[in-house]
Amino acid sequence: MSDTQHVAITIADIEAAADLLAGVAVRTPLVESPALNMRTGGRILIKAETLQRTGSFKFRGAYNKISSLAPDTRANGILAWSSGNHAQGVAAAARLLASPAVIVMPRDAPATKIDNTRALGAEVVLYDRYTERREDIGARLAQERGLAIVRPYDDPHIIAGQGTVGLEIDEQCQRIGAEADVLLVNCSGGGLAAGCATAIAARSPATAIYSVEPEHYDDMARSLDSGDYETNAPGAPPSICDALMAQTPGTITFPIARELLSGGLSVTDAEVRRAVRFAFETLKLVVEPGGAASLAAVLSGRIETRGKTICLILSGGNVAPELFAEIITTRAATEEPG
């Protein structure tokens, strides 16, 4: 068994994060589409984290983590590494909390994510994701400058902050009298999945929870199957889901996922493209490819929906304009309508 960190994240931690985030983070809506219900034969409830501050759920964990730092540590500055959504969440939270931010980002991250991170006041350090390790660059910079590291998922405060998404889903379901059979969570390193699973397991234990990842980057699904850490193959083709390309589950997140998740699903880039287009045309929401993976799983029949209540999270909406335009205007000859 590979090294794990059995760090307990409790419903109390998530409730405390929710109290901290109240009035700061957006309480995003749980959206229901009659057209989607008709198409799937089930009741599909969509948590629109695309409408969160900075366009993704990442702001929640970042604000919760940076708030937990001692005042002098926070004032000295923080460092994070990210392909884009964590970067923007950290930059926005750091600005609100008067903490200088340095963000290590891949050179091939969408330009809109890099530009937005800089616009939020952060210093951006670029690297090559295929020849350099962001963790090494970040650790060196943090040591040289005395910065506190805000990790993208493997941190108890990050996980608890992301878990507020699951807490809100349960509260919103109760308000409309819905009992979720399944919750689908887009997954990279597992912070959102671990946090939401902790919240839902405490509040709605009958709900089955599944991670959703891109094809070739389904390390969480394979790890859940084997019970140990699995790694994505070197040289795997890049996915359109740039936000979901972690190489292996987190050392803190995986033990939580292994205990609480029912399994993992994967979707192809073509299925994700259809989901992004469906979200725009039918739901009237702009969703980035990585944010649409769970919707893609529903639309492509990766999970049974007929007669069931399915909750899913649209986890981010920070898509490059040129890619979004290409997706919504191009339909492959083999695709079904819609």
Contact 112/54 with Cβ under 8 angstroms? no
Q: What is the pLDDT of residue 3?
A: 55
Q: Of 106, 133, 149, which one is at a domain's C-terminal end?
A: 149
Residue closest to 93 by CA, chosen among 119, 69, 75, 120: 120
Q: Say yes or no: 39 and 78 in one domain.
A: no
- Judge whether 299 lies within some domain: yes
- Judge whether 101 lies within some domain: yes
Percent of the chain with pLDDT over 70: 96
Q: What is the pLDDT of residue 2?
A: 47
Q: Say yes or no: 114 and 202 in one domain.
A: no
Q: How far apart are CA 283 and CA 295, in angstroms?
A: 11
**Where is average pLDDT lowest: 33-42, 233-242, 326-335?**
326-335
Q: 275-284 long-range CB contacts below 8 Å, 24 or more apart? A: 275/299, 276/319, 276/324, 276/327, 276/328, 277/327, 277/328, 277/331, 278/36, 278/338, 279/314, 280/324, 280/328, 281/328, 281/338, 282/33, 282/35, 282/36, 282/338, 283/31, 283/33, 283/36, 283/46
In the chain, helix, strand, coil percent, each to 5? 45, 15, 40
Q: What is the pLDDT of residue 234?
A: 86
Q: Say yes or no: 296 and 182 in one domain.
A: yes
Q: Say yes or no: 186 and 251 in one domain.
A: yes
Percent of the chain with pLDDT over 90: 87
Domain carrying residue 222: 11-56+156-329
CATH number of the domain enclosing 130: 3.40.50.1100
Q: Say yes or no: 49 and 66 in one domain.
A: no
Q: What is the pLDDT of residue 279?
A: 98
Taking residues 110-118, report their average pLDDT: 89
Q: Say yes or no: 175 and 260 in one domain.
A: yes
- Judge whether 284 lies within some domain: yes
Q: How far apart are CA 114 and CA 106, in angstroms?
A: 9
As a whole number, the mean pLDDT across the chain is 94
Tokens of 204: 């709605």
Q: Say yes or no: 95 and 201 in one domain.
A: no
Q: What is the pLDDT of residue 7?
A: 82
Q: Of 95, 123, 149, which one is at a domain's C-terminal end?
A: 149
Q: What are phi and psi of 105, to 5 degrees?
A: -130, 145
**Residue 338 pLDDT greater than 70, yes or no:** no
pTM: 0.94
Contact 253/190 with Cβ under 8 angstroms? yes
Residues 271-298 have pLDDT tens digits of 999 999 999 999 999 999 999 999 999 9
Q: Say yes or no: 290 and 302 in one domain.
A: yes
Counting the structural domains of the chain, the total is: 2
Q: Say yes or no: 140 and 169 in one domain.
A: no
Q: Of 149, 181, 205, which one is at a domain's C-terminal end?
A: 149
Q: Which pLDDT band holds residue 332 (cuts at 50, 70, 90)?
A: low
- Judge whether 335 lies within some domain: no
Q: What is the pLDDT of residue 152?
A: 93
Contact 99/74 with Cβ under 8 angstroms? yes
Q: Say yes or no: 220 and 132 in one domain.
A: no
